[in-house]
């Protein structure tokens, strides 16, 4: 059985990631706290043009106060507004590891007390239904998000309890889970159904992991296996409800695939519907497969994984090709300028990848985890930690975003907050728990999936192995591991070979090492001792990446990658009309780390050419043109995709035309 590393046993010391983690702790968490309390002087944006989006305020804490009877009033915000508080609480929990902050912990304890007060006597917890719609509790799961919110609370509870050891939050979570268990399940008299938005399955599995109470594991499994058995369950529930008003207008019209209920989960082979929903479903499936050794479930996960990563994923690790339903569409449909690529979906892909790694240490999972993390996940947050992208486009033209209603979701600057604020706190909880994604151990092998400086203690064969990883990653491919071991012992150390790396070297104790390649990992089996070192050098060449020719939008174009980063062109460096720029047939690229640019980034320069639109085009849209196009020579500068839109408003693109 493979073990996750206890997140309390790892400290990230990395330059690149420490900055992010600090930003979340020092900026984002206090900022979000103010937003949740309606005390931040900010403008809340609608994530797209839609007058139903609640943008007046967050009201999230206020909702709890009203549900707790401390205040009077109505619920405000999305029906899943509670989850913003839960995700914040989860991020706070992880941020308290290695960095105790009694003031923050007191605030968190206060929030937990408030949540406890808002919980009903029977364990039920959901501010919208408690305040304004009690009779419809569990009666409109298509839109209600009751179990979704419950799942986020269970995740927060597992995190807070694991970090602080304080039981109160776990007791609230168990009461809630027990309440859900009384209402749902295969037994007669219970609701045979599932939530419209997967998430409770993840929360229940985490609750099981901290309490070891098998009924939570069973309930998680139940919700997964029940999903899609009766594809009409969600809509039938709406029909049965006498009160026909919608909580989320428009949701009732969405197809079964949107909710991943068109088939039982084991039969689903392609990524369908709302991308965050699918990612949470897959994350839970992979966890249940791991926790219960369910091979069929793992096989189903593998099929979905293959479809997503080989036919429906952007080069940045973004997923979701359309704003309509924030959803997947069809194979190879990956438009760069209308896509969705929600930050939450990228985060969800990381969760899915990691849970697959717990089942099977295959480098392809680590590769995607890295791709998503370094690109479409962190692009979700500005370098100031206070502005966020909901969708992460690969091509932007401010004129189009302003004037094309079909692109109202493609923002050109990050917003201070959103009416639907799912993404910012999702980023916060992922960044503060980053340590857990770096290593796993299985079958006498310690696997390193991600490279970043850190110090960790890992138990292998009841032997404590302390590892110090030092690296200049992601800007350079040198990685050094120094060991400190209780007793010398035989085990394997395995290191992922990133999919972008074609040449590497490995040394143990300064000498060329013997190793095997196993499932995309450099694997070294030997007796390890204190003071042993492993040095890995991954060559980080600048690469031109071409897309599968089936992706219509990328034909004749290339994207630039160096190490884990996908690069982009921005107007601020390259002028307007980026679509007129063409890379030369034999382009040469020069890399330079610029400590003053964008908080310190490696930039890439190249010579290129730019099509000249001369005056003769004035007044003509089309013409028969026998003349060859005229280009001017230019020098262009690429910056890492994640760092775009941190300077000024302008065009951006990842895939660039090229003379092929």
CB of 17 to Zn ion, least distance (A): 21
| Residue 150 binding target from ligand FUB, Zn ion, none, CB below 5 to 8 Å by type | none
Distance (Å, rounded) from C-alpha 61 to C-alpha 67? Answer: 10
Find which of ligand FUB, Zn ion, none residue 115 binds, CB within 5 to 8 Å per kind: none
Query: Smallest gap, in angstroms, from Cβ of residue 169 to ligand FUB?
Result: 22
Q: How far is CA 248 from the centre of its chain?
A: 24
Count interface residues toward Zn ion (CB under 5 A): 4
The residue number with the shortest CB distance to Zn ion is: 344
Q: Which of 225, 234, 286, 226 is nearest to 259 (CA)?
A: 234
C-beta of 258 vs 451, nearer to ligand FUB: 258
Is residue 217 a contact partner of residue 210, using CB atoms and an 8 Å limit? Answer: no
- Tokens (6 digits) for 106: 């007191």
End-to-end CA distance of the chain: 49
The distance of closest approach from Cβ of residue 291 to Zn ion in the complex, given in angstroms and rounded to an integer, is 26
136 binds, among Zn ion, ligand FUB, none (CB under 5 to 8 A by kind): none
Which CB sits closer to ligand FUB, 294 or 342?
342
- In terms of CB distance, is 68 or 344 closer to ligand FUB? 344
Q: Give the whole-angstrom CA distance, residue 178 versus residue 123.
A: 7
Which C-beta is closer to ligand FUB: that of 88 or that of 447? 88
CB of 528 to ligand FUB, least distance (A): 43
DSSP string, 129-150: HHHH-GGGTTT-HHHH-HHHHH
Tokens of 385: 């930690």
Question: With CB under 5 A as the contact rule, which of the stretches 38-46, 304-312, 417-425, 636-644 interacts with Zn ion?
Answer: 417-425
* Annotation says 326 is catalytic: yes
Minimum distance from residue 423 beta carbon to Zn ion (Å): 3
Structure tokens at 233: 């369950």
Residue 80 interaction partner, one of Zn ion, ligand FUB, none, beta carbon < 5-8 Å per kind: ligand FUB
Q: Which does 326 bind (CB under 5 to 8 A by kind): ligand FUB, Zn ion, none?
A: ligand FUB
Name the one residue in this structure whose structure tokens are 């409800």.
Answer: 241
Residue 598 backbone zone (phi > 0: left; psi -120 to 50: alpha; other: beta) = left
DSSP labels for 520-577?
Answer: TEEEEEEEE-TT-EEEEEE---EEEE---TT-GGGTTEEEEEETTEEEEEEHHHH-S-
Q: How far apart are CA 245 and CA 112, in angstroms?
A: 32
- Closest by Cα among 120, 84, 72 to 421: 84
What would the DSSP string read from start to end of 464-526? Answer: EEEEEEEE-TTT--EEEEEEEESS-EEEEEEEE--TT---EEEEETTEEPP-EEETTEEEEEE
- CA atoms within 13 Å, Cβ hemisphere of 641: 33
Which lies closer to ligand FUB via its Cβ, residue 255 or residue 599? 255
172 makes contact, choosing from ligand FUB, Zn ion, none, with CB < 5 to 8 Å by partner type, with: none
8 Å CB contact between 281 and 606? no
Task: Pick what 197 binds: Zn ion, ligand FUB, none; C-beta below 5 to 8 Å, kind-dependent.
Answer: ligand FUB
Min dist. Cβ of residue 345 to Zn ion (A): 7
- Asked if 308 interacts with Zn ion (CB under 5 A), we say no
Q: In this complex, which beta carbon is closest to ligand FUB, that of residue 287 or of residue 570?
A: 287
Q: According to the binding rule CB under 5 A, does residue 279 interact with Zn ion?
A: no
Of 48-56, 303-311, 423-431, 437-445: span binding Zn ion (CB under 5 A): 423-431
Shortest Cβ 301–ligand FUB spacing (Å)? 20
Pick between residue 87 and residue 371 the one whose CB is nearest to ligand FUB. Answer: 87
79: contact with Zn ion by CB under 5 A? no
Query: Residue 514 and residue 516: Cα distance in Å, rounded?
Result: 7
Is there binding between residue 423 and Zn ion (CB under 5 A)?
yes
CA-closest candidate to residue 437, choices 501, 374, 382: 374
Contact criterion met (CB below 8 Å) for 342 and 390: yes
Q: What is the DSSP string of 251-303?
A: GGGS-GGGGT-SS-GGG--S--SBHHHHHHHHHHHHHHHHHHT-HHHHHHHHH
- Residue from 149, 282, 422, 568 carrying the catalytic annotation: 422
Contact segment (CB under 5 A) with Zn ion among 341-349, 529-537, 593-601, 606-614 equals 341-349
Q: Which of 199, 326, 370, 416 is catalytic?
A: 326
Query: At its nearest, how many Å lie between ligand FUB and the CB of residue 336?
Result: 20
- Determine if 422 is a binding residue for Zn ion (CB under 5 A): yes
With respect to Zn ion, which residue has the nearer C-beta, 86 or 290? 86
Q: Work out which of 149, 344, 391, 431 binds Zn ion, going by CB under 5 A.
A: 344
**Looking at beta carbons only, is 419 or 650 nearer to ligand FUB?**
419
Rounded to whole angstroms, what are the CA distances from 39 to 31, 60, 96? 9, 12, 23
Closest CB to Zn ion among residues 60, 508: 60
| Residue 199 annotated as catalytic | no
CB of residue 351 to ligand FUB, shortest distance in Å? 13
CB 486, min distance to Zn ion, A:
43
Residues at the site binding ligand FUB, with contacts judged by CB under 6 A: 80, 197, 276, 326, 342, 344, 420, 422
Q: With CB under 5 A as the contact rule, which of the stretches 152-160, 218-226, 335-343, 612-620 interacts with Zn ion?
A: 335-343
Residue 554 interacts with which of ligand FUB, Zn ion, none, CB < 5 to 8 Å by class: none
Backbone angles phi, psi at 45, to 5 degrees: -95, 150
Which of ligand FUB, Zn ion, none does residue 470 bind to, with CB < 5 to 8 Å depending on kind? Answer: none
- Give how far Cα 200 sits from Cα of 30, 146, 287, 296, 343, Å: 27, 9, 13, 21, 20
Which chain residues interact with Zn ion by CB under 5 A? 342, 344, 422-423
Active site members = 326, 422
């Amino acid at each position: 059985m493979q073990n996750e590393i206890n997140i309390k046993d790892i400290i990230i010391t990395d330059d690149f990631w420490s900055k992010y983690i600090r930003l979340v702790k020092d900026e984002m968490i206090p900022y979000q706290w103010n937003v949740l309390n309606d005390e931040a002087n900010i403008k809340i944006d609608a994530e797209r043009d839609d007058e139903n989006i609640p943008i007046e305020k967050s009201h999230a804490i206020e909702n709890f106060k009203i549900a707790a009877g401390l205040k009077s009033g109505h619920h405000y915000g999305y029906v899943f507004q509670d989850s913003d508080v839960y995700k914040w609480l989860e991020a706070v929990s992880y941020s308290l590891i290695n960095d105790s902050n009694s003031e923050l912990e007191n605030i968190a304890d206060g929030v937990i007390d408030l949540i406890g007060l808002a919980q009903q006597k029977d364990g039920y917890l959901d501010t919208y239904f408690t305040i304004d719609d009690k009779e419809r509790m569990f009666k409109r799961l298509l839109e209600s998000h009751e179990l979704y919110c419950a799942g986020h609370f269970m995740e927060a509870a597992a995190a807070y309890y694991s970090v602080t050891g304080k039981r109160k939050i776990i007791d609230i979570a168990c009461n809630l889970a027990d309440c859900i268990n009384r209402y749902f399940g295969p037994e007669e008299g219970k609701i045979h159904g599932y939530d419209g938005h997967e998430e409770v399955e993840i929360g229940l599995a985490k609750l099981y992991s901290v309490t070891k109470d098998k009924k939570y594991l069973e309930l998680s499994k139940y919700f997964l296996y029940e999903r899609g058995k009766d594809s009409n369950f969600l809509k039938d529930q709406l029909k049965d409800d006498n009160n026909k008003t919608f909580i989320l207008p428009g949701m009732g019209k969405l197809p079964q695939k949107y909710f991943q209920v068109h088939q039982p989960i084991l039969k689903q082979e392609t990524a369908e519907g709302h991308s965050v929903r699918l990612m949470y479903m897959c994350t839970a499936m992979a966890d249940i497969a791991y926790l219960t050794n369910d091979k069929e479930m793992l096989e189903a996960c593998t099929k979905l994984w293959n479809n997503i990563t080989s036919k429906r994923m952007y080069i940045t690790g973004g997923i979701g090709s359309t704003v309509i339903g924030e959803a997947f569409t069809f194979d190879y449909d990956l438009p760069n300028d209308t896509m969705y690529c929600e930050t939450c979906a990228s985060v969800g892909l990381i969760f899915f990848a990691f849970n697959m790694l717990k089942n099977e240490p295959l480098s392809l999972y680590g590769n995607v985890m890295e791709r998503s993390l370094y690109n479409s996940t962190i692009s979700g947050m500005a370098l100031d930690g206070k502005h966020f992208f909901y969708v992460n486009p690969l091509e932007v033209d401010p004129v189009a975003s302003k004037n094309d209603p079909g692109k109202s979701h493609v923002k050109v600057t990050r917003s201070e907050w959103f009416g639907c604020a799912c993404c910012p706190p999702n980023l916060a909880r992922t960044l503060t728990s980053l340590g857990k994604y770096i290593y796993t151990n299985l079958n006498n092998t310690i696997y390193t999936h991600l490279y970043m400086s850190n110090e960790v203690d890992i138990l292998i064969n009841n032997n404590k192995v302390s590892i110090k990883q030092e690296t200049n990653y992601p800007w350079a491919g040198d990685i050094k591991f120094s060991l400190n071991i209780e007793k010398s012992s035989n085990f394997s150390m395995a290191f992922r070979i990133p999919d972008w790396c074609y040449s590497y070297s490995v040394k143990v104790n300064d000498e060329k090492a013997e190793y095997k390649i196993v499932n995309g990992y450099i694997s070294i089996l030997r007796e390890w001792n204190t003071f042993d070192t492993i040095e890995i050098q991954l060559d980080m060449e600048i690469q031109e990446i071409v897309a599968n020719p089936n992706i219509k939008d990328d034909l004749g174009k290339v994207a630039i990658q160096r190490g884990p980063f996908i690069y982009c062109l921005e107007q601020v460096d390259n002028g307007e009309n980026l679509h007129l720029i063409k890379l030369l047939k034999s382009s040469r690229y020069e890399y330079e780390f610029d400590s003053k640019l964008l908080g310190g980034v490696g930039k890439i320069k190249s010579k290129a050419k730019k099509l000249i639109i001369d005056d003769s085009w004035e007044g003509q849209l089309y013409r028969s043109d026998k003349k060859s196009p005229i280009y001017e020579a230019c020098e262009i500068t690429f910056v890492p995709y994640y760092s775009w839109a941190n300077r000024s408003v302008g065009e951006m693109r990842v895939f660039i035309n090229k003379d092929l």
